A and B are shown apart, each in its own frame.
Chain A
Amino acid sequence: MTDRTMIRIDAVSKFYGIYKALDAVSLTIGEGEFFSLLGPSGCGKTTLLRSIAGFETPTSGEIHIDGVPSVMLPPNRRPTNMVFQSYAIFPHLDVAENVAYGLKRLRLSREDEARRVGDALEQVRLAGLGKRQAHELSGGQRQRVALARALVMRPKVLLLDEPLSALDKKLREEMQVELRQLQKAVGITFILVTHDQYEALALSDRIAVMFGGKIAQVATPKEIYQHPRTRKVADFLGGMNFLSGRILGEQAGTVSVDAARFGAVNLGKPPGFTAADGRVTLGIRPERLRLLWDDERAPHELSGRLENRAYFGEVTHLSVGVEGLEAPLSMVETNSYGADDLPIGAEIRLAYDPDAFVLLAEDPPVSRV
């Protein structure tokens, strides 16, 4: 990964009639970066990807691909290639012919073409399957053909539209690892559209979370998981305990907040933070709360009553009622110590780290028209 910009999106909007599919989206994506567009269905992530590919023309705004203004370029004249959600394997061609499809226009010598097709198939571990017909392929193999067909064109950017959503869980996890290795190997920019937060976290260098046609936050997986900027981002990326707090005082970069039963905590101020009436929303991830057994002591602890318990194999999700809090706290315990055997109604103590709290901004109101 270099610091060179590969894609620059400036204030791109897309209207369908009066419906705003994209609302003034701006974004830069670097050369060699694995970038994910993450959000619920209808958030505009696919429209943005298809605008980069050239299948949608934005209503306003500009997209530079490797420095070239590209909004008006048709898809066949852009240095991008796409892996379609349905894979779009040409049914009348075999695997090798599918992969060679785009090369035909380059008028390579027969040997060059065959070599590039062979290399591409090798790269996606399909060597030797060139003569297979499209309908003889499994779901995973189709996906590899789609990848090879795009990569053989040596694009500057590879676009992936929910490429793993049609696969079952186990195969999906295998393909995630492979996709990441493939991106490292070819070293070009990958842009992945997904609604699966774990996929985005596991694969990406950076993630853009989108809601309602707007980008809510762009950051590295760790940053976006640990320091979500708004309540919706926090919620979309995983479980989160929300509490309301009261501002005690503000310093240069931090605020101190009265977090009800958790006492006073000092928190980093997110950019653009304002709290008009002194009330704020705080969040703490379930796994940042820890069960205390027997005589174990922690510098910051709280007691409550076990209200509910759900067994998930390697972990158990606990729901703990604490006096003075509006909602029970969720927490996740590994099953090494017997959290799965705790009786409902048991009095328990839990430890927390005051630094684990995040201050969440209010989400901007969503209007698509």
Chain B
Amino acid sequence: MSFLTQRLRFLPWLPAYMAVYFLFLYLPILLLPVFSFNDAATTTFPLTGFTTKWYASLAGNTAMLEAARNSLVVGVCVALLSTVLGICAARAITRYRFRGQKAAAGLIMSPLFLPEIIVAVSLLMIVLAIGLELSLITVILGQTVFCVPYAMSVLVSGFEGFDRSLEEASYDLGETAFGTFRRVTLPVVAPAIVSSLLVTFTISLDEFILAFFLAGTSPTLPLYIWGQLRFPAKLPAVLALGTIMIVLSIVMLTLAETLRRRAERRTRMASAPPQEA
């Protein structure tokens, strides 16, 4: 922390504030793994002893494994669908100017500014009104609406640094429109696309409300956890499951962040030539 104290000699309280704030942010996250390795069935201090039995109990839990499989299917589909839709919209917004652009983007981004329960309720009503059966498919459709804004934010920032003259240079060198997309556009924005896939998969994996309303009889992992919360005895096993999910989320997000930064560095460096030293 020495560099901080040096920078902040005028504001001595700020590092302390940051420390408290980060404790507040991370305490709930760190408690889950702590109790998931605790030998007692209750979540109170002091800890009674180290065990991995809660993790072991997950392995034979068919209902949980079924829910995990459902979540995986939903997550992959949502990630693909919302990233494809996000690519279309992000490209339309960064590359073209047309009437109604703001309104269209506003509608697509609006789930960020809506209470999620309203999105869930309205989707439920229309799904049942059309006469569709509630299933994983309806969960996928609903979560995609919710994930597209996140996909779009990631992709727009990836596409924005994209210098339009790169595509022009490719046409100029004899390449066709499709060839240009394949050889220039796609490789340059690939990290943003992968990052969008990872982010939307993570959101889908953790999403509860939409799944709660739209899943029918096939639960996803959060729904399974919700069902277990009623039984205090099952809490440690849920904590173990939660710990695994948190580790998974952090790994995916770290990956997404690394890729996003690499993409950013790449486009930034290419578009702003450094001065000759």
- Asked if A pairs with B, the answer is yes
Q: Report if B175 contacts A (CB, 8 A).
A: yes
State which residues 112-160 of A face B: CB under 8 Å: 134-135, 137-140, 142, 149-150, 153
Interchain CB contact under 8 A, A153 and B173: yes
Q: Is the interface of B mostly helix, strand, loop or mixed?
A: helix
Which residues of chain A have C-beta atoms less than 8 A from B175's C-beta?
76, 101-102, 105
Interchain CB contact under 8 A, A139 and B274: yes
- Stretch of A32-40, A83-91, A244-252 on the interface side: A83-91
Which residues of chain A have C-beta atoms less than 8 A from B181's C-beta?
none
On whether A91 and B267 interact (CB within 8 A), knowing A53-B172, A75-B168, A76-B175, the answer reads yes
**How far apart are A160's CB and chain B's nearest CB, in angstroms?**
12
Which residues of chain A have C-beta atoms less than 8 A from B184's C-beta?
90
**How far apart are A295's CB and chain B's nearest CB, in angstroms?**
51
Which residues of chain B have C-beta atoms less than 8 A from A88's C-beta?
163, 165-166, 168-169
Which residues of chain B have C-beta atoms less than 8 A from A168's C-beta?
275-276
Residue among B166, B169, B176, B274 with most chain A CB within 10 A: B169
Which residue in B173, B179, B276, B277 is a CB contact (below 8 Å) of A81? B173
How far, in angstroms, from A102 to B170 measured CA to CA in the complex?
7
Interchain CB contact under 8 A, B269 and A135: yes
On whether A84 and B168 interact (CB within 8 A), knowing A135-B265, A166-B273, the answer reads yes
How far, in angstroms, from A149 to B166 measured CA to CA in the complex?
13
Interchain CB contact under 8 A, A86 and B163: yes
Which residues of chain A have C-beta atoms less than 8 A from B271's C-beta?
86
Interchain CB contact under 8 A, A92 and B266: yes
**How far apart are A16's CB and chain B's nearest CB, in angstroms?**
12
Q: Report if A167 contacts B (CB, 8 A).
A: yes
Which residue in A80, A105, A135, A167 is a CB contact (below 8 Å) of B179? A105
Q: Report if B171 contacts A (CB, 8 A).
A: yes
**How far apart are A177's CB and chain B's nearest CB, in angstroms?**
16
Interchain CB contact under 8 A, A90 and B171: no
Q: Report if B174 contacts A (CB, 8 A).
A: yes
Q: Report if B183 contacts A (CB, 8 A).
A: yes
Which residues of chain A have C-beta atoms less than 8 A from B166's C-beta?
88, 90-91
How far, in angstroms, from A105 to B265 measured CA to CA in the complex?
29
Q: Report if A356 contacts B (CB, 8 A).
A: no
Total interface residues in chain A, CB < 8 Å: 38
Q: Which residue on A lies nearest to B173, using beta carbons?
A: A102
Q: Report if A69 contacts B (CB, 8 A).
A: no
State which residues 260-274 of B face A: CB under 8 Å: 265-267, 269-271, 273-274
Which residues of chain B have C-beta atoms less than 8 A from A139's C-beta?
273-276
Q: How does the 8 Å CB contact mask read for B239-277 relative to A, with 1 for contact and 0 for none?
A: 000000000000000000000000001110111011111
Interchain CB contact under 8 A, B169 and A84: yes
Which residue in B266, B274, B276 is a CB contact (below 8 Å) of A91? B266
Q: Report if A74 contacts B (CB, 8 A).
A: yes
Q: Report if A82 contacts B (CB, 8 A).
A: yes
Residue among B176, B188, B269 with most chain A CB within 10 A: B269
Q: Which residue on B lies nearest to A171, using beta carbons?
A: B276
Q: Report if B12 contacts A (CB, 8 A).
A: no
Q: Report if A55 contacts B (CB, 8 A).
A: yes
Q: Report if B187 contacts A (CB, 8 A).
A: yes
How far, in angstroms, from A57 to B169 measured CA to CA in the complex?
17
Interchain CB contact under 8 A, A91 and B173: no
State which residues 174-217 of B face A: CB under 8 Å: 174-176, 179, 183-184, 187-188
Q: Which residue on B lies nearest to A91, using beta carbons?
A: B270
Q: Which residue on B lies nearest to A105, using beta carbons?
A: B174
How far, in angstroms, from A74 to B170 measured CA to CA in the complex?
12
How far, in angstroms, from A75 to B176 measured CA to CA in the complex?
9
Interchain CB contact under 8 A, B173 and A92: no
Q: How does the 8 Å CB contact mask read for A165-185 relative to B, with 1 for contact and 0 for none?
A: 011100100000000000000
How far, in angstroms, from A134 to B171 measured CA to CA in the complex?
19
**How far apart are A317's CB and chain B's nearest CB, in angstroms?**
29
Which residues of chain B have C-beta atoms less than 8 A from A74's C-beta?
171
**How far apart are A106's CB and chain B's nearest CB, in angstroms?**
8
Interchain CB contact under 8 A, B269 and A91: yes
Which residues of chain B have C-beta atoms less than 8 A from A84's C-beta?
165, 168-169
**How far apart are B154's CB and chain A's nearest CB, in angstroms?**
19
Q: Which residue on A lies nearest to B179, using beta carbons?
A: A105
Residue among A84, A88, A105, A142 with most chain B CB within 10 A: A88
How far, in angstroms, from A191 to B129 measured CA to CA in the complex?
65
Which residues of chain B have C-beta atoms less than 8 A from A166's C-beta?
273
**How far apart are A82's CB and chain B's nearest CB, in angstroms?**
5
Interchain CB contact under 8 A, A135 and B270: yes
On whether A87 and B188 interact (CB within 8 A), knowing A53-B172, A81-B172, the answer reads no
Interchain CB contact under 8 A, A82 and B266: no
Interchain CB contact under 8 A, A102 and B273: no
**How far apart are B175's CB and chain A's nearest CB, in angstroms?**
6
Interchain CB contact under 8 A, A90 and B165: no
**How far apart are A302's CB and chain B's nearest CB, in angstroms?**
46
User: 7 closest pairs, A vs B, by CB?
Assistant: A102-B173, A91-B270, A135-B269, A88-B169, A88-B165, A139-B273, A75-B171
| A–B complex contacts, Cβ < 8 Å, 21 sampled | A54-B171, A75-B172, A76-B172, A76-B175, A77-B174, A85-B165, A87-B273, A88-B166, A88-B168, A90-B166, A90-B170, A92-B266, A102-B174, A104-B183, A105-B173, A105-B179, A134-B270, A135-B266, A135-B269, A140-B276, A166-B273
Which residues of A approach B to under 8 Å, CB–CB?
53-55, 74-77, 80-82, 84-92, 101-102, 104-106, 134-135, 137-140, 142, 149-150, 153, 166-168, 171
Q: A84-B169, A91-B166 are in contact. List 12 more A-B contacts (CB 8 A).
A: A75-B171, A77-B174, A86-B163, A86-B165, A86-B273, A90-B166, A91-B270, A101-B183, A106-B174, A135-B270, A138-B277, A168-B276
